[in-house]
């Protein structure tokens, strides 16, 4: 058997560069390269291996968590058909990636994590940054990755990569099991050599199938749909990952079934499609939530039914409601005691379209859904046009950005109050034009995620909308965007605090406690003094960005036009009114309220909470 003598790290990089993926006859490299920050735990291993193989491109990052966010945004934009590896040193560099790993696994997005680890041979332990446990010598901080990884392994001998790497690829390329894959690499094993089988490095193609629905269950689903009078489709992220938007549009045009979209599924239909009711759930539209409340059949396509989608199990109130779940993941297909169609979203939609030939919802139901869709478009126009306030409202800022963005441009966001408003208000015109990380809703994702989106599709303009809270957590990837020539337009909404949590605090009677950026008051001892003098524009300028300070909405329009002509990342800062919020529509979210309190407002909130919880349901 032919062999090649390589270090473990060299073998890993060589293997990764040979992996291909194929779906629908389209083939390409699975790995786009490797992000990394080097230290004593990986500089002589993975670092040296990347140096020797420049065609497997290395990207420098500023923060380990951020580089994972960039990697998973790239994978999301590429419909999980391509991803990045991320390498760090041992200790804090490794654990900085845990949040990114959780984001990837919760969002079902592939990323390969290669953290350095403590010495496998142990004789020099404890080494710098090693966690010691008196109960075992086989634990390191990298064990923290186990609960947030879809696959986890520690490579304690160089030959173990021969079996570990194919397993890692199996999980990374699986539509149902993908997420973070972690291979912990002891720093003494990475540079250790072994005679590897040459066949390990042959090009390998991982085929991504489109499993069809099981015929008997498909037939039963057709019966359920034909017998329903108020069916509703919930389009989740699986519609987009399956590239099923065109199939879904054709299906609902023929049947008249209306569609509500989750955060991950927004863009499954154009905003102006007659059957599109828009966002559904806690951050949903009036029409979508009314349709959910009255539906006698819910057809979930590629959704995992988070509490924001189900309004904490209060969204579906028809006593006879049934569920058909189309999902490539069996785990999600069986939720809500559903009729499970474990299948690719596009394959299942196409199969249903054939089997339901001639079926249409009642005309009155179709007409009502189309009327609700039109009414919601009018509500969006109203919020977009509300420009009298100073500082500006968040809804009006979204309207300005949406109006200036092009049909294929991408908006990126993740946390705070912005995702809820974007879910309701953003007029999507392209399946990949709306990029929200809301499975984990991770603060700090926005700028790093925008970089990943731009790297995945450089021809699109990328608009990152980020609140001052998330911006202050992680703005350093502005530097990476400039280094790589990946121009972003970043709109920072400065409302001097945490708007989302402030509103939530007020709703449970706590008056926005701890949500505003204020000095501590000598009189009260609380953080309710003057506004902190944070200069976000100066911060962005120091990172190398082109910076514009917009004093009002008209200035924001001009700034966005100026940004379009810029060659490098532009940051636009505009002050917004934390209290001028977009309302909720026909929905509720279960956030527990204290049963006992000295505050009358908290007691009132608790009474309302108990009453609202009465609508929560089990689906058995």
**Could you please report the per-residue DSSP string of 352-409?**
HHHHTTT----HHHHHHHHHHHHHHHHHHHHHHH----SSBPHHHHHHHHHHHS-TT-
Is there a contact between 65 and 97 (Cβ–Cβ < 8 Å)?
A: yes
Q: How crowded is residue 274: how many other Cβ atoms within 10 Å of its Cβ?
A: 16
- Both tokens of residue 457? 């599709």
Mean pLDDT across the stretch 422-428? Answer: 98
Q: How far apart are CA 417 and CA 500, in angstroms?
A: 4
Q: How far apart are CA 62 and CA 581, in angstroms?
A: 34
- Give the pLDDT confidence score for residue 518 in this predicted structure: 92
- pLDDT range class, residue 503, cuts 50, 70, 90: confident
Q: What is the dihedral of CA 570, 573, 579, 580, to 10 degrees?
A: -60
Q: How far apart are CA 537 and CA 572, in angstroms?
A: 8
- Give the pLDDT confidence score for residue 386 in this predicted structure: 87
- Res 100 pLDDT > 80: yes
According to DSSP, residue 87 is labeled: E
| Residue closest to 478 by CA, chosen among 532, 422, 414, 546 | 546
Output the average pLDDT for the chain: 96
Paired strand residues for 27? 22
- Give the pLDDT confidence score for residue 317 in this predicted structure: 97
- pLDDT range class, residue 579, cuts 50, 70, 90: confident
- Both tokens of residue 341? 């169609």
Mean pLDDT across the stretch 272-277? Answer: 97
Q: How far apart are CA 261 and CA 236, in angstroms?
A: 6
| Residue closest to 116 by CA, chosen among 184, 217, 203 | 184
Of the listed ranges 87-91, 128-132, 426-430, the one predicted with least confidence: 128-132
- Both tokens of residue 174? 């699986």
| Residue closest to 88 by CA, chosen among 109, 57, 67 | 67
Q: How far apart are CA 302 and CA 59, in angstroms?
A: 32
- List strands edge to edge, sheet with 204-207: 26-29, 19-23, 204-207
Is there a contact between 133 and 93 (Cβ–Cβ < 8 Å)?
A: no
- Both tokens of residue 499? 């708007």
- pLDDT range class, residue 501, cuts 50, 70, 90: confident
Mean pLDDT across the stretch 383-409? Answer: 93
- Res 389 pLDDT > 80: no
- Give the pLDDT confidence score for residue 504 in this predicted structure: 83
Q: How far apart are CA 571 and CA 559, in angstroms?
A: 9
| Residue closest to 252 by CA, chosen among 237, 264, 238, 239 | 239
Burial of 377 (0-12, 13-18, 19+ CB in 10 A): middle
Q: How far apart are CA 19 and CA 135, in angstroms?
A: 40
List, as one string, the DSSP characters of 150-170. Answer: SEEEE--SGGGHHHHHHHHHH
Residues with Cβ within 8 Å of residue 26, at least 6 apart in sequence:
none
What's the number of CA atoms in the CB half-sphere (13 Å) around residue 423? 31
The rounded percent of the chain whose pLDDT value lies above 70 is 100
- List strands edge to edge, sheet with 259-261: 276-279, 259-261, 231-235, 297-301, 322-327, 339-342
- Give the pLDDT confidence score for residue 321 in this predicted structure: 98
Mean pLDDT across the stretch 568-597? Answer: 94
- Give the pLDDT confidence score for residue 14 in this predicted structure: 98
- Res 217 pLDDT > 90: yes
Q: How far apart are CA 437 and CA 63, in angstroms?
A: 18
| 276: three-class secondary structure by DSSP | strand
Is the alpha carbon torsion for 23, 24, 29, 31 positive or negative? Answer: negative
Instruction: Round to the nearest angstrom and report the end-to-end CA distance of the chain.
Output: 57
Q: How far apart are CA 108 and CA 511, in angstroms?
A: 36
- Full set of structural domains in the chain with CATH: 3-207 (3.40.50.970), 215-374 (3.40.50.1220), 386-496+534-575 (3.40.50.970)
Q: How crowded is residue 128: how many other Cβ atoms within 10 Å of its Cβ?
A: 11
Is the alpha carbon torsion for 501, 471, 386, 272 positive or negative? Answer: negative
Q: How far apart are CA 98 and CA 69, in angstroms?
A: 11
Residues with Cβ within 8 Å of residue 195, at least 6 apart in sequence:
3, 4, 5
Q: How crowded is residue 52: how many other Cβ atoms within 10 Å of its Cβ?
A: 13
Distances (CA, A) of 99 to 32, 66, 106, 352, 464: 22, 9, 11, 39, 20
- Give the pLDDT confidence score for residue 369 in this predicted structure: 97
């Amino acid at each position: 058997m032919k062999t090649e003598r390589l270090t473990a790290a060299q073998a890993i990089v060589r293997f990764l560069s040979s992996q291909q993926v194929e779906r629908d006859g389209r083939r390409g490299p699975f790995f786009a390269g490797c992000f990394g920050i080097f230290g004593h735990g990986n500089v002589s291993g993975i670092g040296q291996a990347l140096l020797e193989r420049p065609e497997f491109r290395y990207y420098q990052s500023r923060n380990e968590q951020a580089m994972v966010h960039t990697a998973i945004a790239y994978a999301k934009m590429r419909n999980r058909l391509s991803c990045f590896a991320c390498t760090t040193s041992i200790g804090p560099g490794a654990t900085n990636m845990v949040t990114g790993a959780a984001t990837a696994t919760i969002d079902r997005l592939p990323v390969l994590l290669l953290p350095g680890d403590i010495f496998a041979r142990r004789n020099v332990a404890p080494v710098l940054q090693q966690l010691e446990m008196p109960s075992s010598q086989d634990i390191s901080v990298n064990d923290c990755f186990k609960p947030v990884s879809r696959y986890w392994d520690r490579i304690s001998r160089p030959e173990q990569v021969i079996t570990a790497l194919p397993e890692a690829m199996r999980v990374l390329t699986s539509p149902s099991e993908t997420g973070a894959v972690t291979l912990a690499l002891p720093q003494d094993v990475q540079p250790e050599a072994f005679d590897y089988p040459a066949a390990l490095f042959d090009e390998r193609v991982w085929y991504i199938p489109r499993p069809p629905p099981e015929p008997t269950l498909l037939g039963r689903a057709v019966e359920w749909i034909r017998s329903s009078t108020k069916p509703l489709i919930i389009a989740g992220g699986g519609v987009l990952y399956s590239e099923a938007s065109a199939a879904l549009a054709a299906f609902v045009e023929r049947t008249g079934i209306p569609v509500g979209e989750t955060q991950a599924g927004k863009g499954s239909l154009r905003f102006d499609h007659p059957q599109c009711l828009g966002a559904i759930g806690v951050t949903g539209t009036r029409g979508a939530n009314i349709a959910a409340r009255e539906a006698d059949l819910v057809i979930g396509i590629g959704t995992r039914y988070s509490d924001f989608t189900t309004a904490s199990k209060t969204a579906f109130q028809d006593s006879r409601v049934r569920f058909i779940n189309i999902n490539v993941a069996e785990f999600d297909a069986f939720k809500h005691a559903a009729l499970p169609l474990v299948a690719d979203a596009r394959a299942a939609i196409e199969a249903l379209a054939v089997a339901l030939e001639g079926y249409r919802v009642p005309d009155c139901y179709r007409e009502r859904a189309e009327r609700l869709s039109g009414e919601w478009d009018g509500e969006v126009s109203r919020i977009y046009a509300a420009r009298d306030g100073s500082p500006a409202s968040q809804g009006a800022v979204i309207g300005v950005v949406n109006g200036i963005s092009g049909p294929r441009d991408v908006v990126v966001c993740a946390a705070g109050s912005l995702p809820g408003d974007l879910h309701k208000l953003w007029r999507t015109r392209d399946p990949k034009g709306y990029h929200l990380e809301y499975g984990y809703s991770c603060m700090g994702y926005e700028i790093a995620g925008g970089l990943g989106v731009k790297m995945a599709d450089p021809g699109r303009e990328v608009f990152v909308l980020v609140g001052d809270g998330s911006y202050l957590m992680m703005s350093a990837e502005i530097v990476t965007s400039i280094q790589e020539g990946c121009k972003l337009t970043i709109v920072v909404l400065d409302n001097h605090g945490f708007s989302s949590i402030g509103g939530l605090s007020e709703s449970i009677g706590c008056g926005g406690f701890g949500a505003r950026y204020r000095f501590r008051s000598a009189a009260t001892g609380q953080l309710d003094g003057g506004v902190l003098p944070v200069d976000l524009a100066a911060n962005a300028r120091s990172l190398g960005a082109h910076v514009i300070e917009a004093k009002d909405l008209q200035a924001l329009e001009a700034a966005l036009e100026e940004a379009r002509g810029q060659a490098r990342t532009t940051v636009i800062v505009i002050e917004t009114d934390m209290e001028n919020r977009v309302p909720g529509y026909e929905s509720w979210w279960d956030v527990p309220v204290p049963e006992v309190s000295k505050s009358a407002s908290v007691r009132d909130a608790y009474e309302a909470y108990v009453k609202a919880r009465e609508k929560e349901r089990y689906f058995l």
